[in-house]
A and B are shown apart, each in its own frame.
Chain A
Amino acid sequence: MIRLRGVEKAYNHRRILRGLDVHIEPGEFVFLTGPSGAGKTTLLKLLYGAQRPTGGEVWVNGLRVDTLSRPQLPTLRRTMGVIFQDFKLLKRKTVMENLTFVLRFHGLPERECQRRAYLTLKRLALQHRQSAYPESLSGGEQQRVAIARALVYQPRLILADEPTGNLDSELAAELMSLLCDINYQGATVLVATHDHSLLEAVPARTLILHHGTIEYDGAWPP
């Protein structure tokens, strides 16, 4: 599912990632943790092709991401769902439109887009807010819409970058339960977080990134 081989990343001669070797099997639930500035977000950006590594190979869903050309990136991104800390919802579109909008890029007919979007919203208990605009939603609801958008086309891989960063502990727990549920249904989930309470709450494989290298790779708690 995900394979990194000797991945290096540097900005202005400052090395962020140093020769990373990581392998994540399909269906795994993995936490990526470490202090701020350890390179968690950079690593996720390499996985969805927003950045290119300085060296090494990045493989995701059988595609070599570091050599993909710009027109090939949508193909990669349609195989994964990305959840961002700042939600990245389209403000001018309603909750429903935020989901159908993504489905249209998958070439689905309009009726099917509407059906799938509704079912996903229902699964996340958001069906009553389908006509609302993101700005009228609470932080927790916005995060759930962001998750719904990542799940609506049933991707095989979910990447979440600090998904609980803007949520209180109750909503964070609810979100983690949801991600576990998605993982239970077969999707691979990679969650980047610096919140240790999440690691305690969900026993899973954990990668600890420190100074650009993997300091720990194994079950948590150890």
Chain B
Amino acid sequence: MIRHILAEGLALLRRRMLASLALIVAVAMPVALGGVTLSIDLWLKPILRGTVSGGTVEVLLRPGKDEGAIASWVTGQRTKHPAWRLRHIPKAEIQQRLSTWFPYLKPLLRDRPGNLLPDIVEITSPHPHSVTQLAGDPLVLAVGPETSFGPELRHVASRVSWLIGVATAVLLFSSALFAGIWVHLELFRHADEIAIMRLVGATEASIQGPFLFAIGVTGALAGILASLLDAAMLRWLSTLLQSIGLPPLEGPVTVIVLQLLIATLIPLGIAAWTLARHATLEIED
């Protein structure tokens, strides 16, 4: 039985290679998009935590100060203002950001020693205006404008997530429809064969098995393709995000597993439903 299912299922895939490839891509695209949306949501959560009700202010420190002095200044500010969240941006990161945004500075940054660059401390506070008091500090060169990056980011991210979510749902529905049509056409093409199989005593499992196997393989391949596309998109987005000083995007294992499951189960479910409907047509009342 298993041998029959494997042989017939593979034959089915071989004969309908192009349609199967199209189905793989059709399923993979929305699943990959869904994965990216989910990954962005998961990535945004820690970033938005604590910044929603406040804002982040960039504080520029005087250049030439040693690491120890900066570290003790940061510790001192933390003690003085427990509500603030301070993050010291290393010189290397500033150098990288400047190189990305102002490529013509690259030779200058390469030739000059790194310690000529100022240090930046990002302070996130529920009351960003309170950070301006640091303007008189001898170590501080300048205090950046008060920003409301968090809420803006959340607003944009929720809009983008909503749009991608709708696009994903529409594409997923289309791919499910495609899978249904694929099975329906194959059943139509093999109608005579299926009728003969039933007449010689084949069980529904041996009739439906090859179709389910073929669609299951197609779905699993779509899941793998979706994970690869997802990883590529996240990598590309991460490059952009890192260049503006944000942490890179990561594709959690749960998202990959979810993608594999969705890509396999949706076409499989549609196929099982179509096959079950077809089977009920066997006996004429």
Taking beta carbons and an 8 Å cutoff, which residues of A are in contact with B?
45, 48-52, 70-71, 73-78, 82, 84, 88-92, 101-102, 104-107, 110, 149
Contacts and interface: CB of A to CB of B under 8 A. Distances in A.
B282 A70 contact: yes
B202 A105 contact: yes
A167 B99 CA distance: 87
Given A73-B198, A92-B193, A49 B283 contact: yes
Return the 4 tightest CB-CB contacts between A and B, nearest first: A77-B201, A78-B201, A74-B201, A102-B200
Interface in B178-216: 192-193, 195-196, 198-204, 206
A71 B4 CA distance: 19
Contacts of A78: 201
A107 B284 CA distance: 28
A109 to B, nearest CB: 10
Interface in B247-285: 279-280, 282-285
A137 B25 CA distance: 42
Interface size range on B against A: 20 to 34
A88 B283 contact: no
23 contacts: A45-B284, A50-B199, A50-B282, A50-B283, A51-B283, A52-B283, A52-B285, A70-B280, A71-B203, A73-B198, A73-B282, A73-B283, A74-B204, A76-B201, A77-B199, A78-B201, A82-B200, A88-B192, A88-B196, A92-B193, A101-B200, A105-B200, A105-B206
B200 A104 contact: no
Nearest to A53: B285
Nearest to B280: A70
A135 to B, nearest CB: 13
Interface of B: 1, 3-4, 192-193, 195-196, 198-204, 206, 279-280, 282-285
Given A71-B204, A105-B201, A105-B202, A90 B283 contact: no
A110 B3 contact: yes
Contact of A74 (B1, B3, B193, B203): B203
A165 to B, nearest CB: 17
B201 A88 contact: no
A88 B193 CA distance: 8
Nearest to A100: B4
A102 B201 contact: yes
A107 B282 CA distance: 23
Contacts of A92: 193
B193 A105 contact: no
B283 A70 contact: yes
Contacts of A51: 283-285
Contact of B204 (A50, A70, A82, A89): A70
Contacts of B284: 45, 50-52
Contacts of A106: 201
Contacts of A90: 193, 196
A102 B193 CA distance: 12
Contacts of B285: 51-52
Nearest to A150: B200
Nearest to B202: A105
B280 A105 contact: no
Contacts of B201: 74-78, 102, 105-106
Contacts of A74: 198, 201-204
B193 A104 contact: no
Nearest to B203: A74
Nearest to B15: A92
A90 B11 CA distance: 15
Most chain A beta-carbon neighbours within 10 Å: one of B279, B280, B282, B283: B283
B4 A104 contact: yes
